Structure 1
């Protein structure tokens, strides 16, 4: 019995090793190459021209922080604009300038695509987002309430 189990185990190991060594059948379609995060790194201007966001590495992914606001101070108080709509009361006084809007950007399924989350300080909410390069100086961002539903797309422009 022990010999039989040992023989079956050895046979399974040989079969598994042989299967792993074989190349999968070719269907003449190249495997997609993961996008390189450096393509999207840089400073981007939102469509309304009032916010610049720098996308750069942070940990194993990319993040995007506000680096410039056309209007950075509250016109009524003269104080810096803050994250006043954040659901966490402790975060409502943090300034918008420097705030992380894009988090956990990782390469998507195809070159020039990324997935991550985008924070909307106007609403104090995070949304799932897909990003795709539209040439070297434009990136399309699609943010959705629910994956694939109730989405909004914006085109951001690279700032040189």
Structure 2
């Protein structure tokens, strides 16, 4: 009777560990859709060219209230780029692995039309930490995993 009880206990312990392993694997993956800390945009992050890419797929306010047209990259200093739509805009460039669950490269900020040195790291199954720096000045925010 004791051997059977220990066997059942061992199986139960293995079953209890399986979701934790799956959760830890998901914690390391940046793939998916992420809601920015301000809640004003969603970014689809995916693997590409040995690193990660990030593209805006949703805006809280997709229509510019002044023009009645879709939001465009009007803060970009390059006149040709200032007319491109915000939805579909690529934010990451050169994001390459920089350690476990970490990537380093550049991030474009459509709010000011500038590109910054950046680090991205998965800090949990539902949190993506995004750091950006210009010189010695740095800032960060946490993005939350979104269902879409």
Could you say which residue in structure 1 is the equivalent of 2:4? none
Larger radius of gyration: 1
Could you say which residue in structure 2 is the equivalent of 1:159? 146
Aligned residue pairs total 120
Q: Tell me if 1:121 matches 2:102.
A: no
Structure 1, residues 30-74: CA drift from partner, whole Å, max 9, x if none? xxxxxxxx7111110001111000011333322100000000010
Long gaps (5+) in structure 2: 1-27
Q: Tell me if 1:52 matches 2:42.
A: yes
Q: How does 1:9-158 map to 2 (within 5 A)?
A: 39-109=29-99, 111-146=100-135, 149-158=136-145
Q: How far does residue 123 in structure 1 lie from its aligned partner after superposition?
A: 1.0
Structure 1: how far apart are the matches of 2:77 and 2:51? 25
Q: TM-score when scaled to structure 2?
A: 0.77
Q: Which runs of 4+ in 1 moved over 3 A?
A: none
Q: How far does residue 114 in structure 1 lie from its aligned partner after superposition?
A: 1.1
Long gaps (5+) in structure 1: 1-37
